[in-house]
A and B are shown apart, each in its own frame.
Chain A
Amino acid sequence: MLLRPTDRGLFCEAGNFYVDPWQPVDRAVITHAHGDHARWGSRSYLGSREGERVMRTRLGEQAHIRCVDFGEVVTLDGVRVSLHPAGHILGSAQVRIEHQGEVCVVSGDYKTEPDDTCSAFEPVRCHTFVTESTFGLPIFRWDPQHEVMAEVRDWWAGNRDAGRSSILFAYALGKAQRVLSALRGADIGPIVTHGAVERLTRDYRDSGVAMPDTIYAGAEPRGRDWKGALIVAPPSAAGSPWLRRFGASSTAFASGWMRIRGARRRRSLDRGFVLSDHVDWPALLAAIDATGAECVWVTHGYREPVVRWLRDTGREARSVASQWEGEDDASELDATELSAEDAAAQP
């Protein structure tokens, strides 16, 4: 087998590298810049050119990062490694590993739905497919983005008419920019950002992704009237004193978890918009099928149900533990905590 799970993450012995290790290693291949995949401290990284800017923000300007184009083949100790778009966030990649005729693909996180802020997911044929399973249950099914964004605009308009500001929580890296991009040209605004969001949005702009104009909240005078504004902030800002400046407001969260009513109510949010950067149940199964893989490794999420489903439908499958046990929204909570680091890093 080309890969094996270790206590630092997936290891390719033949090529002497790890994929998304959660502890410092010599050679790390990174699928994308989210904190539970790109960990600080390894001696060298290999990542996609598309994601270079955001990886540097996350891993530090000093980090030794070799960037490659999608599809470009790099040989590591005789193992052929290439990156292919995963459609999750800017620069997100699947890692294709080929050695002695055997092909293994590590998906990282991915979605197959189109997203203007990153390259579209490409199915890659392989023998072994390592898939995430964040939303690996049939209760998770997404409506198309344009329908969800229409709800967001209606919510904003209702708040504006009621003299309130609209505070939308979205992960600072990826979801926030996807939402912003989808609001380009919409009759909405002003669009105001939290520091964590602003900094990564700048990275997106620097990477050539079109973003609407945003106002960084921290640069605005105290006591400004925010009625009718749309504020985009990381989920960690929910319930924090930072929100007080916006006065009367309505709060919402854009996340796949908002498919579950209890997940929204538990956070005392007014609205939940079901918008995810992961595959839903039908897309997960379709993506697995498209790889033609004989064997599927399932990690990160609802591992056991997905493994059992795959086995019951005649495929070889195994569950691979990750340090980030995301059986439910715990994984997104981790992501929330990680983005809190960014909150400190004001632009």
Chain B
Amino acid sequence: MKRFAALFSAIDSTTRTNEKVLAMADYFRDADPHDAAWAVHVLSGERPKRLVPARRLAAWAIEEAGIPEWLFEEGYHAVGDLAETISLVLPPARRESDMPLHHWIEDRLLALAGQSDDVQRQAVGEAWQELSGVERFLWNKLITGGFRVGVSRLLVIRALSKMSGIDDATLTHRLTGHWHPDAAAFSALVAADTADADVSRPYPFFLAYALEHELESLGNAGEWQVEWKWDGIRAQLLHRRGQRFLWSRGEESVADRFPELADAAALLPPGTALDGEILPWVDERPLPFAELQRRIGRTKLTPKILREVPVVLLAYDILELDARDLRADPLSERRRALESVLRFSGDVPLRISPIIPAADWGAVRSAHGRARDMLAEGLMLKRRDSAYGVGRRKGAWWKWKVAPHTVDAVMIYAQAGHGRRASLHTDYTFAVWQDGQLVPFAKAYSGLTDVEIRALDSWIRKNTTEKFGPVRSVKPEQVFELAFEGIQRSPRHKSGIAVRFPRILRWRTDKPAAEADSLETLHGLLEKFG
């Protein structure tokens, strides 16, 4: 744990990417492979299964610290991170521990599984007595999950590549999907022989950047394949050696969430990998995204929900056919292969995302204008000769989203943020007018510059009318232009509506609160697009 804590401190004490990569590469080179495996796992954002609810952990820390709960909460509001707050309020450690990282995770943390509350309490309390400072913070982070330390999976892969000499793509592929962190897995990860391929592994998803320039700058429209940008869950469906796998872009296995798709995979030739979008689909049209969310939210898939929210995979691409990796082939050839594979009749939930015929850029623009009617988020533009790359790359694929809906709304509540925004008010609630009253309808966290956040924070402190715990009511004076992607009826919200991806576009210091938009405006959008 000490070596890992030193790595964490090294990563955490620089804002330079290169130094972070070097520190990780050094660690991976020297560390016990079993520890290195866990380090790869947690640094790339995976986390051990959560075995102790965060609130219970906090309750134990409160007992150990001998402070009342409300005082702990005050500390939490100042720190903005539960694991950190716990490590700061606990009394100093009594002993030291030289045990390695994998011991702490496997024998101390994972060993908590299935234990009684008392046993867990005892074990966690002992751990706290052996760990101090950064080590204690890391231990709490491992328990509570959400291990974000300013390193991405991408950087971990770069460090592994630096250490092993193996290229990023192979490492990415090896790290995708099921990867159990143990010494053998780490050795296999950095093994020089790259002929391995776990049958279950999806390919890294190829992602597009947002279109930056005029369409004309892309050259000849005929060189581009134009598709709808669907608003669902990007996924890969695999059929290999009699097994079926469905992976979401978060590299989560979602086969059990969408059994109809996993079943349909059996109809594909063995050795096939499709890339597409999972969409709620009725009468050859998508349902709003919120319907899909409703289905994902169910712990048990009842026949009712399966009937109400049927899904399809709208395939964009084929990455593997007859167990051959097609990703280096041009898109036009992959598209032909995709069309030859997906020749099913109506009731198989596997479709091809249609190509929008567009002979010139004018036609593309006009399609873009129709995207909302299709319940699409915009268009995808893909070079017909493009390979299927790894990660987000500029040039070959572009996404062109439709402009978001916007309204002017009044800030009525503010709350301090978390992490690097701790003790700055950065979480805001916005309201619109209805019969002379302000009705809250959205929360937004992002969109302001650091300078604006500070100015607004200072305004909030001076214009607080009431405090409930961390939340402040403020004078309803500040108007913001909010953007959002979708709008939905929602009985759970006071306003009766829910918006998707709300964010702040502009601080309308020029606009008095009385001139903000009304609920009526939102209902108008709901009628049109909901």
Q: A261-B84, A305-B71 are in contact. Are A139 and B421 (CB under 8 A)?
A: no
A305 touches B461 (CB 8 A): no
| In the bound complex, CA of A263 to CA of B422 (Å) | 7
For residues 243 through 276 of chain A, which have their beta carbon under 8 Å from a beta carbon of chain B? 250, 259-263, 265-266, 268-271
- Tell whether A330 is near chain B: CB-to-CB under 8 Å: yes
Chain A proximity of B34: nearest CB distance (Å): 28
B461 touches A139 (CB 8 A): no
- Tell whether A216 is near chain B: CB-to-CB under 8 Å: no
Q: A308-B70, A309-B71, A327-B461 are in contact. Are A139 and B79 (CB under 8 A)?
A: yes
Chain A proximity of B90: nearest CB distance (Å): 10
- Tell whether B458 is near chain A: CB-to-CB under 8 Å: yes
- Tell whether B208 is near chain A: CB-to-CB under 8 Å: no
The residue from A139, A250, A265, A308 contacting B78, defined by CB atoms under 8 A apart: A139
- Tell whether A125 is near chain B: CB-to-CB under 8 Å: no
- Name the residue of chain A whose CB is nearest to the CB of B133: A143
- Tell whether B166 is near chain A: CB-to-CB under 8 Å: no
- Tell whether B168 is near chain A: CB-to-CB under 8 Å: no
A263 touches B423 (CB 8 A): yes
B68 touches A260 (CB 8 A): no
Taking each of A137, A140, A271, which has the highest tally of chain B beta carbons within 10 Å of its own beta carbon?
A137
- Tell whether A138 is near chain B: CB-to-CB under 8 Å: yes
A260 touches B84 (CB 8 A): yes
Query: How many B residues face the partner with a CB closer than 8 A?
Result: 32
- Name the residue of chain B whose CB is nearest to the CB of A143: B133
Taking each of A141, A260, A262, A330, which has the highest tally of chain B beta carbons within 10 Å of its own beta carbon?
A262
B74 touches A262 (CB 8 A): no
- Tell whether A325 is near chain B: CB-to-CB under 8 Å: yes
- Name the residue of chain A whose CB is nearest to the CB of B137: A261
- Tell whether B75 is near chain A: CB-to-CB under 8 Å: yes
Q: Mark A135-148, 1 if CB is under 8 A from B, else 0.
A: 00111110000000
B84 touches A266 (CB 8 A): no
Q: Mark B405-424, 1 if CB is under 8 A from A, else 0.
A: 00000000000001111111
- Tell whether B348 is near chain A: CB-to-CB under 8 Å: no
- Tell whether A206 is near chain B: CB-to-CB under 8 Å: no
* Chain A residues whose CB sits within 8 angstroms of the CB of B424 once the complex forms: 266
- Tell whether A328 is near chain B: CB-to-CB under 8 Å: yes
* Chain B residues whose CB sits within 8 angstroms of the CB of A137 once the complex forms: 71, 74-75, 78
- Tell whether B116 is near chain A: CB-to-CB under 8 Å: no
- Tell whether B231 is near chain A: CB-to-CB under 8 Å: no
- Tell whether B81 is near chain A: CB-to-CB under 8 Å: yes
- Tell whether B31 is near chain A: CB-to-CB under 8 Å: no
- Tell whether B14 is near chain A: CB-to-CB under 8 Å: yes
* Chain A residues whose CB sits within 8 angstroms of the CB of B80 once the complex forms: 260, 262
A271 touches B13 (CB 8 A): yes
- Tell whether B88 is near chain A: CB-to-CB under 8 Å: yes
For residues 457 through 492 of chain B, which have their beta carbon under 8 Å from a beta carbon of chain A? 457-458, 461
B71 touches A138 (CB 8 A): yes
- Tell whether A18 is near chain B: CB-to-CB under 8 Å: no
B65 touches A138 (CB 8 A): yes
For residues 99 through 115 of chain B, which have their beta carbon under 8 Å from a beta carbon of chain A? none
* Chain B residues whose CB sits within 8 angstroms of the CB of A261 once the complex forms: 12, 79, 81, 84, 137
B75 touches A139 (CB 8 A): yes
For residues 115 through 167 of chain A, which have their beta carbon under 8 Å from a beta carbon of chain B? 137-141
Query: How many A residues face the partner with a CB closer than 8 A?
Result: 27
B13 touches A265 (CB 8 A): no
- Tell whether A171 is near chain B: CB-to-CB under 8 Å: no
A266 touches B420 (CB 8 A): yes
Taking each of B72, B80, B88, B418, which has the highest tally of chain A beta carbons within 10 Å of its own beta carbon?
B88
* Chain B residues whose CB sits within 8 angstroms of the CB of A140 once the complex forms: 88
* Chain A residues whose CB sits within 8 angstroms of the CB of B70 once the complex forms: 305, 308
B71 touches A260 (CB 8 A): no
* Chain B residues whose CB sits within 8 angstroms of the CB of A250 once the complex forms: 14
| In the bound complex, CA of A308 to CA of B69 (Å) | 12
Chain A proximity of B165: nearest CB distance (Å): 25
The residue from B67, B137, B421 contacting A266, defined by CB atoms under 8 A apart: B421
- Tell whether B161 is near chain A: CB-to-CB under 8 Å: no
Chain A proximity of B446: nearest CB distance (Å): 15
- Tell whether B15 is near chain A: CB-to-CB under 8 Å: yes
- Tell whether B89 is near chain A: CB-to-CB under 8 Å: yes
A138 touches B15 (CB 8 A): no
Taking each of A138, A139, A263, A270, which has the highest tally of chain B beta carbons within 10 Å of its own beta carbon?
A139
| In the bound complex, CA of A305 to CA of B68 (Å) | 11
* Chain A residues whose CB sits within 8 angstroms of the CB of B89 once the complex forms: 138-139
B419 touches A325 (CB 8 A): no
A262 touches B420 (CB 8 A): yes
| In the bound complex, CA of A263 to CA of B137 (Å) | 16
| In the bound complex, CA of A140 to CA of B74 (Å) | 12
Chain A proximity of B514: nearest CB distance (Å): 29
| In the bound complex, CA of A328 to CA of B80 (Å) | 12
B79 touches A262 (CB 8 A): yes
B67 touches A138 (CB 8 A): yes
* Chain A residues whose CB sits within 8 angstroms of the CB of B419 once the complex forms: 262, 265
B74 touches A302 (CB 8 A): yes
- Tell whether B85 is near chain A: CB-to-CB under 8 Å: yes
- Name the residue of chain B whose CB is nearest to the CB of A302: B74
* Chain A residues whose CB sits within 8 angstroms of the CB of B421 once the complex forms: 262, 266
For residues 41 through 90 of chain B, which have their beta carbon under 8 Å from a beta carbon of chain A? 65, 67-68, 70-72, 74-75, 78-81, 84-85, 88-89
- Name the residue of chain B whose CB is nearest to the CB of A251: B15
B13 touches A270 (CB 8 A): yes
| In the bound complex, CA of A302 to CA of B67 (Å) | 16
| In the bound complex, CA of A259 to CA of B88 (Å) | 8
A328 touches B15 (CB 8 A): no
B68 touches A312 (CB 8 A): yes
| In the bound complex, CA of A325 to CA of B14 (Å) | 32
The residue from A139, A271, A302, A308 contacting B88, defined by CB atoms under 8 A apart: A139
| In the bound complex, CA of A195 to CA of B503 (Å) | 42
* Chain B residues whose CB sits within 8 angstroms of the CB of A269 once the complex forms: 15
- Name the residue of chain A whose CB is nearest to the CB of B79: A260
Chain B proximity of A261: nearest CB distance (Å): 6
- Besides A260-B423, A265-B420, 11 more A-B contacts (Cβ < 8 Å) are A138-B88, A138-B89, A139-B85, A259-B88, A261-B81, A262-B80, A263-B422, A302-B78, A305-B71, A312-B68, A329-B423
Query: Could you jot down 11 A-B contacts, CB within 8 Å?
Result: A139-B85, A250-B14, A262-B419, A265-B420, A266-B421, A268-B15, A308-B70, A308-B71, A327-B461, A330-B458, A330-B461
Q: Which 4 A-B pairs have the closest CB atoms?
A: A262-B422, A328-B423, A139-B88, A139-B75
